[in-house]
Structure formats: C-alpha cells, structure tokens
C-alpha cells in the first residue's frame, strides 16, 4: 500500500467542498491555465463516485427547465447536485425560464447545489476536455450527481457520451423534419429519451414513435434507449426520468466490467484529444517562432507548393522533436 501524499492546499479545499475554491479552479480550467494540472492530478484518485448525467437536445426543448426540476427532485431525495451548462443560450436561473420559481431560486444558499455555466464559443478547442475536468472537480468535491447540459445536434463540439455515464436526449412533440434527420444520430447518443413539454398536444404520439424506433433498432451494447414523457412546466414525469437514468446506471453495474469498459472508451477518446491538443498547440507555437514559416506560406500562396505538402513538412518538423518539449 502506498501512503497517499499530502494534497496541495487547493485540492484539499475542493475535497472539503469549498465553493469559492471550486469556482476559481473552474475559471482556471476554462482559461486553460496549466497550473491546475498538479491539482487535477492530485484529485484524480478521488474521482469516479459521482453519477454524471448528460442532457442534450435541440435549442429550446426545455433542457434547462428539466434540469431545474430534476435538481429539485434529487434534492428531495437528499442527493447533492452540481450542474454544468455548456454554452447555455438561455439564462439558467432567471425567473423567465420558468413561470414559477424553483426551489433553487428560493434557496440560493443551499450548499448541496452548485451551478456553473461554461462558454465554448470563441475558445480555441478543448471544450470537451475542460468539461471533463470540471466534472472531475465536482466529483472530487463529493457531489452525488453532476448534470451536464449541452445543446445537441452537432452545434457544439462536445460529445456528451464522452463525458456522461448516462446521456439523456431531450425532445419535444412535433419537432418534425429536424428530428427525422437527426434520429439516427440521436440513437447513437441516447440512453434515455425524454419527450418534454408533454403538456402540449402530440406528446403521446411522439413518445410512442420513439419507443417503436427504440424497439426496432439493435440494442447498443445491450441497452435499448428508454423513452419517458415529462413536462418541466407542470413538473410531471420527473420521477420517471430519474428512474430511467438510474435504470441505465444499474445496467452499467449489472455485469462485471461493463461500466469499466464504457469508462475505458471515454478515456481512450480523452487521451487522443489531449495529445491532439498538445500537438496542435506546439505546432502553432513553433510556427510562430520559426523564421522559415513565412517562406512556406509564400510558397503555398504563390502556388509553388500545395497545402498538404506544406502541412506534411510542418508536421515532420513539429513531430520530429516534440518529445524534447517540456512537460506541462
């Protein structure tokens, strides 16, 4: 047995659940501050306990509203909850999101809840990486459930399945053609489908339609997506939604190695991304510092060299000596 080394002070603050420390570290992760690396490294062995649930779906289907009611439900079950909203296009806690105020808004001092938005626009890559790192911090801070909201349908470069152990795709009745074209992709993502706004007409038909499709398709890794109907407005179907999420989590644990296998797949993607990030960053730095770079650009612009050949040369230059660069 190795004796655990003393944690850095900031890591200790996270483990203690110090919200200010958490917020500051998340900001540093967002701004890609390399000084968080040792803190994340120290915390890594303390992660892997939270249930990480992704909620994704087209714009305006009610993801934030559902997160709000799910949050209240989880609090009533005594669970602590952290929420990460990636690229929120509507305010999370503004009274305008829901007609009536949710528990969260009545009780901003609730220590069992932590909410954070993260913007991806205008940032050079690394959104999925940053999201994963933020989720791990929240996991190390002992939140029982971490809910991650993203806008789906390929509008952001984060694949929710790479972050969450259970992914919920939120839809609404009568999404029409948009969903028809999305459906194949959605079945790749969804462990659970939630037809929200079931207070509107057509919800039953939409849920039935999805259930049939789920029944027809081949089960992905032995799991067929579960379809639930909900209304965040009327606060119906939320218990069913959580039950479906728990059923998928139980499925992951029902067979030895199943959850580990899913984790390994996510980690494989993450590692590729991290290496790609580093190679890209180093290439950009070297190019800037390299006096022959301007010549290469001239050659391509003057049609003496094609871009692929130029890129090959850059790659060889960067790649050939990348092992000499310092560790982050």
Ligand X SMILES: Nc1nc2c(ncn2[C@@H]2O[C@H](COP(=O)(O)OP(=O)(O)OP(=O)(O)O)[C@@H](O)[C@H]2O)c(=O)[nH]1
Residue 78 beta carbon to ligand X: minimum distance, rounded to whole angstroms: 25
68 binds Mg ion (CB under 5 A): no
Residue nearest to ligand X (CB): 62
* Residue 62, binding choice from ligand X, Mg ion, none, Cβ under 5 to 8 Å by partner class: ligand X
* Residue 196, binding choice from Mg ion, ligand X, none, Cβ under 5 to 8 Å by partner class: ligand X
Q: Which residues bind ligand X (CB under 6 A)?
A: 59-65, 88-90, 97-98, 151, 196-197, 199-200, 231-233
Give the footprint of Mg ion on residues 71-130 (CB under 5 A).
88, 90
Residue 238 beta carbon to ligand X: minimum distance, rounded to whole angstroms: 10
Which residues fall within 8 angstroms of residue 68, CB to CB, at 6 or more apart? 92, 97, 98, 102, 104, 232
64 binds Mg ion (CB under 5 A): yes
Residue 301 beta carbon to ligand X: minimum distance, rounded to whole angstroms: 41
Closer to ligand X at the Cβ: 17 or 202? 202
Contact 162, 56 (CB under 8 A): no
* Residue 59, binding choice from ligand X, Mg ion, none, Cβ under 5 to 8 Å by partner class: ligand X
Residue 234 beta carbon to ligand X: minimum distance, rounded to whole angstroms: 6
56 binds Mg ion (CB under 5 A): no
How far apart, in whole angstroms, are the C-alpha atoms of residue 88 and residue 6? 37
Q: Please tell me whether residue 118 adopts helix, strand or coil conformation.
A: strand
* Residue 199, binding choice from Mg ion, ligand X, none, Cβ under 5 to 8 Å by partner class: ligand X
Which residues fall within 8 angstroms of residue 287, CB to CB, at 6 or more apart? 293, 314
Closer to Mg ion at the Cβ: 88 or 202? 88
* Residue 321, binding choice from ligand X, Mg ion, none, Cβ under 5 to 8 Å by partner class: none
Closer to ligand X at the Cβ: 36 or 232? 232
Count of residues interacting with Mg ion (CB under 5 A): 4
Residue 127 beta carbon to ligand X: minimum distance, rounded to whole angstroms: 16
Which residues fall within 8 angstroms of residue 242, CB to CB, at 6 or more apart? 70, 73, 74, 77
Residue 172 beta carbon to ligand X: minimum distance, rounded to whole angstroms: 8
* Residue 65, binding choice from Mg ion, ligand X, none, Cβ under 5 to 8 Å by partner class: ligand X
Using CB atoms within 10 Å of the CB of residue 286, give its burial: 0 to 12 exposed, 13 to 18 middle, 19+ buried: middle
The C-alpha R_g of the chain, in whole angstroms, comes to: 22
198 binds Mg ion (CB under 5 A): no
Residue 198 beta carbon to ligand X: minimum distance, rounded to whole angstroms: 7
Question: Which residue blocks in the chain are alpha helix, DSSP H?
Answer: 9-15, 19-30, 37-43, 63-76, 103-106, 127-140, 177-189, 203-216, 238-254, 258-289, 292-301, 307-320
Closer to ligand X at the Cβ: 94 or 215? 94
Closer to ligand X at the Cβ: 97 or 140? 97
Two structure tokens written together for 55:
């909620």
Closer to Mg ion at the Cβ: 11 or 113? 113
CB-hemisphere CA count at 13 Å for 185?
A: 14
How far apart, in whole angstroms, are the C-alpha atoms of residue 291 and residue 145? 51
How far apart, in whole angstroms, are the C-alpha atoms of residue 258 and residue 45? 20
Closer to ligand X at the Cβ: 17 or 88? 88
CB-hemisphere CA count at 13 Å for 125?
A: 9
Residues found near Mg ion in the complex (CB under 5 A): 63-64, 88, 90
């Amino acid at each position: 047995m190795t004796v655990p080394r003393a944690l850095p002070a900031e890591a200790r603050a996270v483990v203690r659940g110090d919200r200010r420390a958490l917020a500051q570290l998340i900001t540093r992760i967002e701004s890609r501050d390399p000084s968080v690396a040792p803190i994340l490294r120290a915390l890594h062995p303390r992660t892997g306990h939270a249930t990480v649930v992704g909620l994704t779906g087209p714009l305006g289907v009610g993801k934030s509203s559902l997160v709000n009611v799910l949050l209240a439900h989880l609090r009533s079950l005594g669970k602590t909850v952290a929420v990460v909203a990636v690229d929120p296009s509507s305010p999370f806690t503004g009274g305008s999101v829901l007609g009536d105020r949710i528990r969260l808004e009545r009780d901003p001092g609730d220590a069992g809840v932590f909410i954070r938005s993260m913007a991806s626009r205008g940032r050079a890559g690394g959104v999925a990486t940053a999201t994963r790192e933020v989720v791990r911090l929240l996991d190390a801070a002992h939140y029982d459930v971490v809910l991650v909201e993203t806008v789906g349908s390929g509008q952001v470069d984060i694949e929710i399945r790479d972050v969450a152990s259970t992914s919920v795709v939120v839809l609404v009745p009568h999404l029409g053609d948009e969903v028809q074209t999305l459906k194949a992709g959605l079945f790749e993502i969804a462990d659970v489908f939630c037809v929200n706004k079931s207070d509107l007409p057509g919800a039953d038909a939409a849920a039935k339609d999805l259930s049939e499709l789920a029944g027809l398709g081949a089960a992905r890794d032995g799991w067929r997506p579960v379809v639930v109907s909900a209304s965040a407005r009327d606060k119906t179907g939320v218990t069913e939604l959580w039950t479906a999420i728990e059923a998928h989590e139980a499925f992951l644990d029902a067979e030895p190695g199943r959850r580990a296998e899913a984790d390994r797949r996510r980690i494989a993607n993450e590692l590729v991304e991290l290496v790609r990030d580093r190679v890209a960053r180093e290439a950009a730095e070297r190019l800037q510092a390299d006096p022959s770079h301007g010549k290469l650009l001239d050659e391509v612009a003057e049609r003496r060299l094609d871009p692929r050949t130029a890129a090959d040369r850059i790659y060889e230059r960067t790649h050939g000596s990348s092992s000499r660069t310092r560790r982050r």
